[in-house]
Amino acid sequence: MKKRWIALLLALGMIWTLSACTGETPSRKPIQEDEAGGQQQEQAGKEEEQPEEKEEQGLPTVEKQVVLDQDGLMVTAVELAEDPIWGIGLKLLVENNSQQNYALRCDTLAVNGYMMSTSLFSADVSAGKKANETMYFSDGDLEAAGIETIMDITARFTAYDPDSYEDLWGPVEVTLPTSAAGSEKQPAMDQGKELYHQNGVRIVGSYVEEDTFWGAGVVLFVENTGEEDVVISCDDMSVNGFMVTPYFHCQVNAACRAVSHITVMESDMEANGIQAVENIQLAFRGYSPDSYDTLFETDPVDFSVAQ
266-294 pLDDT, tens digit per residue, is 999 999 999 999 999 999 999 999 999 99
Q: Is residue 133 within 8 Å of 124, Cβ to Cβ?
A: no
pTM of the predicted model as reported, rounded to 2 decimal places: 0.85
pLDDT in tens, 207-256: 999 888 788 999 999 999 999 999 999 999 999 999 999 999 999 999 99
Do domains 27-44+187-304 and 60-177 share one topology? The answer is yes
126-131 long-range contacts, Cβ below 8 Å, gap at least 24? 126/96, 126/101, 127/96, 127/98, 127/99, 127/100, 127/101, 127/102, 128/96, 128/97, 128/99, 129/96, 130/93, 130/94, 130/95, 130/96, 131/93, 131/94
Alpha carbon distances (Å) from 42 to 61, 77, 191, 292:
33, 39, 9, 39
Residue 175 pLDDT > 80: yes
Decide which of 3.10.20.30, 3.40.640.10, 1.10.357.10, 2.60.40.2550 is the CATH code for 60-177. Answer: 2.60.40.2550
Domain limits, the chain: 27-44+187-304, 60-177
CATH number, domain 27-44+187-304: 2.60.40
How long, in residues, is the chain? Answer: 307
What digits encode the pLDDT tens for the residues 29-51?
999 875 544 444 444 444 444 44
